Chains A and B, each alone.
Chain A
């Protein structure tokens, strides 16, 4: 998601790592340890911050992202517009309260450019 502000979910988090996009990872407390250490490993290599959300579980992280589903990990891609989310999520984790946030919609991806010819470098 190049033009999105954040993405939710383990698969998209890894995808963002492979596309070199993202500024901060937030992981729920109940994330399975193998998955958590894999994300931390990738973020150590990519020098991206990881924040462990202080809510009880992934239900809480989903709720505080304004979604009606569970979220185990999420990545903030453009902090400019999602800054509010980050501050809110971190402050709520500090205070232990999880109010529902406004949904921040990413814009649709523009039509992708045609791929380059193979082996012409």
Chain B
């Protein structure tokens, strides 16, 4: 069997506050850890998708509409739906398991992933990842 829950895999979060949101796996813990004795992974996802930009929009409006709000979360494998998409954004240095220990670390990690996601969105690649899943 080929492993598919690997870093850079795009997944959809199925449960919790972020259900229905797309996320990318940053780090996966197949065998669990002592605190979480189940397969889980650290994901960075999109809390608020960028809005649709139209030709009529001014530069200021485009900038405002292209904002992406991110979340970082540790999710059980059971609460993820893997997809065939991947997102090659390097988040390993930014998002670490200890980023979730304290509020300010979490905020800085989220801000940095926001920056990287927005850069990627602006290049026009990985369009699937930045579109809202309709359900």
Contacts and interface: CB of A to CB of B under 8 A. Distances in A.
Instruction: Tell me whether A and B are bound partners.
Output: yes
Contacts of B104: none
A20 B1 contact: yes
Contacts, number: 45
Interface string B74-90: 00011000101000000
Given A46-B2, A118-B97, A19 B34 contact: no
SS class, residues of chain B in contact with chain A: loop
Contacts of A17: 1
A17 B5 CA distance: 10
B1 A115 contact: no
Interface string A30-74: 000000000001101111100000000000000000000000000
Residues of A contacting B: mostly: loop
Interface string A1-30: 000000000000010011111110000000
Given A42-B82, A46-B2, A119-B98, A18 B35 contact: no
